[in-house]
Amino acid sequence: MSAPLFFVGPWDLDRRLACVPDDPGQGPVLLVESRAKGSALPYHRKKLVLVLSAMRHFAAELRGEGYQVHLVNAASYVEGIQNTVAELGSSKVVALEPREWGLDRALREADLGAPLELLPEGGLGGHFLLTRQEFLDWAGGQKAKLRMDVFYRWMRKRTGLLMDEGRPEGGKWSYDSDNRKRIPAEAEAPALPRFDPDPITREQIQRVEGWPNHWGQAAGFNWPVTRAQALEALASFVQERLTSFGDYQDGMRAGETFLWHACLAPAMNLGLLAPLEVAEAAVTAYREGDAPLNAVEGFVRQVIGWREFIRGVYWLRMPDLRSSNLLGASRPLPAFYWEPKRTEMRCVRESAQAVLDHGYAHHIQRLMILGNFALLAGVEPLELSHWFWAGFVDAYEWVELPNVHGMALYADDTFTTKPYAASGNYVNKMSDYCKGCRYKVKVKQGPDACPFNVLFWGFMSRHRDLLEENPRLGMLYRGWDKRGADERAAILGDAETFLDSLPTSSHDWSFEDDAG
C-alpha cells in the first residue's frame, strides 16, 4: 500500500514540531517553493533568502536523518502537492493547518489527488500556545469587545508563566509603565549575533539577488536559518539584551535598528522556535536573578499575549478583515515607504530605511512612526498592509493584517476603542530623531512645523463625528475648540498642503492576496 505524503510549509521548520512522521519509513516529506507566493508581492530579498534558505536547511536536516525529502519548485503550493501525489501515488496528504487563510481554503477545496488530513496547529509547546479553536472559544465567551489585557491575564494563568500561587509575579499583571524610558545617549546596545552565510545561504543570496521586481538587497543577510542558529539568537537576547529590553523597548535612536530588541520573530514565524520555550527562557533568567521583572514581563506579554491574540483575531475576522476600512481611508501609500530618501521627515526616513536595509524595524517604529503617519495621512489600509507584508522579514498575513488594520490604522475595531494617533511630541519624547530633522517638532503651524503636528489635527478634524464621543478623546476636541478660528484654519490648511505634496509611488504590481 502506498505511503502518506507529509507536507511541511515554510512555517513549520522545527524538527520536534513539524508535520513529519517519527519514522522515516512512514512516508516521504514534501516542501514546496511556490512561484505564485514568491512573486505575489515585491518581497524584500532578505525575506526571500530567509525562507528559501531555512527550507533547504530543514530539508538537509531531514535527509541526514534518513527521510525521503522532495523539495520542489511549483506554480503554487497546491500544484506542488498535486504533482508529487501523482508521481508517488500517495495514499493521503498530511499537513498542519496552514498559517494563512488563502492557503487554508485552497488546500481544503482543491483536489489534491489524495485525501487531505489537516492537523490542528497550536497547543501548549506548539508553534502557538493555543489552537485556533481554543482562541475562538475564549473570544466567544467575552461579553464585551475583545481586550488584549484580559486575554493576556487568561494566558498567564493558563500557562503558569510569571505566576505566584495564583497571583501575578510581583503583584502586577503589567509593568508597561516602567517600560517607556528614553534611551540615554551613553547607553550602548550589544550587537546582534553574526550568522555568516554558509554555502546553502550563499547560493540563495546569489539566486535572489538576480531576481527583478523585488525590494532591498540580499547582501548583508544575517537572520537565523536553522534551529541551532535560532537557539543561539535566543540565548544571545536573554544573556545580552533582555536586562535593558524593558526600559528601552519603546525608545528609538537614529542610525540604530535593533537596539535591545529580541529580533526573534523571523525565526519564530518560520517555526524554528516555539513560543513556550522562548517565554520560559526569559522567565528562567528572571528566576535566576539575571533579568528584572519589568523586562521579562514585557517580553512575555509580547510572546504569549500579543502574538497569540493577533493570530486569534486573524482567524476570527477573516476574510472580512481584508476589506475593513472603518475610516474610509483611500490615499495611495506615499512613495517614501519604498524609497525612504524621498521624505525629509527624519523619523519616517530612518524607520523606512531600516526596513529597506534589514527587512526589520521595531514595534514602535512600526506602530508610532510608519503606522501613525499612514493613519494621519489616510492611507488605504491594504496599501500599507501589503507594504508590511512585502517588506518585513517576520511579516505574514496572519500577523500583519490584524496589526495594520486593527492597531495601526483603526480600520477594524475588533479590539481597539480608538485610533493610536500621535503628534510629533511622542516621537520627540521617545527618540533623538527630531534634533536632526529639517522640521521643528515644537512648531505647530507654518512651513517649518512638524508634519505630524498638522496632520494630527487634520485627522482629528476629518473624523470628529466618529471620535468626539470617545471619552478619551473628547478633552482633546475641547482644547482644540479653544484655539482661535484663524489658527485652526491655518493648521488644517497646512495639513492639506502637506498631503497634496506627498510623492506617490509608481509601483506597477497588483496583488492577489490568496496567491500561493
Binding site for ligand SF4 (CB under 6 A): 345-347, 424, 427-428, 433-434, 437, 439, 441, 450-452
C-beta closer to ligand SF4: residue 57 or 349:
349
C-beta closer to ligand SF4: residue 291 or 345:
345
Least distance between ligand SF4 and beta carbon 350 (Å): 8
Pairwise CA distance, residues 270 & 13, whole Å: 6
C-beta closer to ligand SF4: residue 84 or 428:
428
Pairwise CA distance, residues 128 & 273, whole Å: 10
Residues β-bridged to residue 94: 6, 117
Find, among 423, 342, 414, 336, the residue nearest to 375 by Cα. Answer: 423
Least distance between ligand SF4 and beta carbon 254 (Å): 9
Kindly state the cell numbers that stand for 239. Answer: 544573556
C-beta closer to ligand SF4: residue 208 or 434:
434
The answer to whether residues 41 and 386 touch, using CB atoms and an 8 Å cutoff, is: yes
Place of cell 496552514: 98
Pairwise CA distance, residues 224 & 510, whole Å: 31
C-beta closer to ligand SF4: residue 107 or 345:
345
Least distance between ligand SF4 and beta carbon 425 (Å): 8
The answer to whether residues 181 and 245 touch, using CB atoms and an 8 Å cutoff, is: no
The answer to whether residues 113 and 79 touch, using CB atoms and an 8 Å cutoff, is: no
* Backbone phi, psi, residue 334, to 5°: -60, 150
C-beta closer to ligand SF4: residue 9 or 424:
424
Least distance between ligand SF4 and beta carbon 349 (Å): 9
C-beta closer to ligand SF4: residue 108 or 442:
442
SS (HEC) of 272-324: CCCHHHHHHHHHHHHHCCCCCHHHHHHHHHHHHHHHHHHHHHHHHHCCHHHHC
